[in-house]
Structure 1
Amino acid sequence: MDLGFGGEVAEFYQRYRRGYPPAVFDALADAFALTPQDTVVDLGCGTGQLTLPIAARVRAVVGVDPEPDMLVLARRAAGERQVGNVSWLLGADTDVPALGALLGGGTVGAVTVGQALHWMDHDALFPRLRPLFRAGGGVAVVTNGTPLWLQDTGWSRALRGVLERWRGVELHRSCGTDDASQRRYRDSLVAAGYDVGATTVDYTAELSLDELVGGVYSVFSVDTLPAPEQRSEFSARIRRALHPETRFREHVRVTVLVGRL
C-alpha cells in the first residue's frame, strides 16, 4: 500500500508532526495495565511518534508501516535515543494475520493506531486484531488534534484559504479527528466485541511560521508536495495571509479511544 508519504514528505513528517504529552502514555498504560513484560504493536507507526515513547514502559514494541522511508527515519531516531527494544516491520493493516502468526496469539498487551487509521478499513481491522491480545489487552485509537487548517481560529481559516487556492480543492477531511469519525470508530469497536472507553488530554502549543509551513508539508503526498522551486512562493503566500502574526497558538485535544477485551 503506497500512500505517497516517502522521500521528503517522511522527513517533514519526522521533523514537524506533533508528538504526544506524557499523559497520553499514562492513559495507555493504565487502560491496558501495561507492564515491563508486555509487547505493544504500533500500527501505521510513521516515524515513531507513539512507538518510541511507549517503548520505555514495556518489554518490546513492534512498529509497522507501509512506507519504507518512514521506517528508515524511525529506526534512526530509535538509535539516536538509544531505544533498543523496538522492531520495525514493513506492512499494513491487512498484514495483521501474519503478524499474529509471528508473535503468537494472546501475547500482545495493546495495539496503538494513530491518525493513520483513516487510511485503513477499521471495520475489518478491529475484529482481525482480537486474537493477538492477552486478557485485558486491546486496541487504542489515538487522534492528535485537529488538522492545522481546520481549527477554529483566524489564522487557521486564513491558512485553509491559501491551501484551497493553491490546490484548487476544498479541504474538509479531518483525518479521523472529527466527532462523526470518532463515533464510527467507537461503534465499530463495540460491534467487534470490545469494551469501549475514551480519555482526552488537552494541551496548548505555540508554532512559528516555519513550523506551521513544515506541518503543512508533512501532510502532502510526494506527488502534491510543492516543488523546491515553488516553496518560497508557497511560504510567502501563507506569510501574507497570516500577517502580522508570526507565532500561532494551537489548542490540541488528544483523544485516546480504547477498546479492551
Structure 2
Amino acid sequence: MDHERLFAAIRPMLRKGGGVAVVTNGLPLWSQESPWSRALDEVLAGWFDRPLTVTCGTDEISQTRYGESLAAAGYAVDNGVIEYRSELTLDQIVGGVYSALSEDSLPAHQDRATFADRIRMAIEPHAPYVEPVSVKIVTGRC
C-alpha cells in the first residue's frame, strides 16, 4: 500500500479524535523460529527458486516508516502490541502462505495440490504447528 499518500488523503475525512490504524498480524509463517517454519521456508525457497524475504510490514523498519508517515501527515502516533500463541492446521498454514503472496506469485491453480503436498510432507514431522503471534498496531489520531 502507498501508505504515505493514503494517510494524507484520509486525514481530512476524519472527525476530531478519529484516526487510522495499521495492524500487522505477526511474522510471516516462513520466517519464525520453529522447526516447522524452517521446513516451510525451505519448501518455499525451492518452489520459487529463491529465499522469501518479504516481511509483510511486520519488521521494525516498516513499523517505523508507518509511524513516521502518520506523523508527517499530522497524526498523533502511538504503538501497541498484542501477543498470543496459536496452534495452526496444515490448511491454515497453506492458506496463510497464499494470503501473503502477491497474485502473480501464487502457484497456478493446477499446481496448488502439489504445492500443498510439498508443504505437508515437509512440515508434518514437526507437528504441532504452534505460532507465536505478535500483533503490532500503529495508530494515528487526529
Match of 1:204 in 2: 85
Q: Does 2:61 match 1:148?
A: no
Supply the distance in 2 between the matched residues of 1:160 and 1:142 (Cα, whole angstroms): 24
Q: Which amino acid aligns with 1:257?
A: V
After the TM superposition, which of the residue ranges 169-178 and 234-243 deviates more from structure 2? Answer: 234-243
Q: Does 2:66 match 1:185?
A: yes
Supply the distance in 2 between the matched residues of 1:159 and 1:220 (Cα, whole angstroms): 14
Supply the distance in 1 between the matched residues of 2:103 and 2:23 (Cα, whole angstroms): 25
Match of 2:134 in 1: 253
Q: Which amino acid aligns with 1:169?
A: R
Match of 2:94 among 187, 190, 213: 213
Partner SS state of residue 169, structure 1: coil
Supply the distance in 1 between the matched residues of 2:112 and 2:102 (Cα, whole angstroms): 15
Supply the distance in 2 between the matched residues of 1:209 and 1:246 (Cα, whole angstroms): 9
Change beyond 3 A, Cα 1:228–1:187: closer
Supply the distance in 1 between the matched residues of 2:107 and 2:15 (Cα, whole angstroms): 45
Supply the distance in 1 between the matched residues of 2:102 and 2:80 (Cα, whole angstroms): 31
Cα deviation, residue 169, structure 1 = 2.3
Q: Which amino acid aligns with 1:181?
A: S
1:101-140 maps to which residues of 2 (within 5 A)? 120-140=1-21
Q: Which amino acid aligns with 1:152?
A: E
Cα deviation, residue 222, structure 1 = 4.2
Match of 1:19 in 2: none
Supply the distance in 2 between the matched residues of 1:150 and 1:215 (Cα, whole angstroms): 13
Cα deviation, residue 207, structure 1 = 0.7
Q: TM-score w.r.t. structure 2 length?
A: 0.89
Q: Does 2:50 match 1:169?
A: yes
Supply the distance in 2 between the matched residues of 1:121 and 1:228 (Cα, whole angstroms): 29
Q: Does 2:69 match 1:195?
A: no
Cα deviation, residue 217, structure 1 = 2.5
Match of 1:70 in 2: none
Q: TM-score w.r.t. structure 1 length?
A: 0.51
Match of 1:232 in 2: 113
Change beyond 3 A, Cα 1:128–1:177: same
Q: Which amino acid aligns with 2:133?
A: V
Cα deviation, residue 232, structure 1 = 3.4
Cα deviation, residue 224, structure 1 = 3.5
CA contact (8 A) 1:208 1:246 kept: no
Larger helix fraction of residues = 2
- Give me the CA root mean square deviation: 1.7
Which runs of 5 or more residues in structure 1 are unaligned?
A: 1-119
Q: How many residues align?
A: 142
Cα deviation, residue 221, structure 1 = 4.0
Cα deviation, residue 228, structure 1 = 4.4
Change beyond 3 A, Cα 1:223–1:187: closer
Supply the distance in 2 between the matched residues of 1:225 and 1:190 (Cα, whole angstroms): 35
- Deviation readout 1:29-73 (Å, 9 max, x if unpaired): xxxxxxxxxxxxxxxxxxxxxxxxxxxxxxxxxxxxxxxxxxxxx
Runs of 4+ in 1 over 4 A off after TM superposition: none
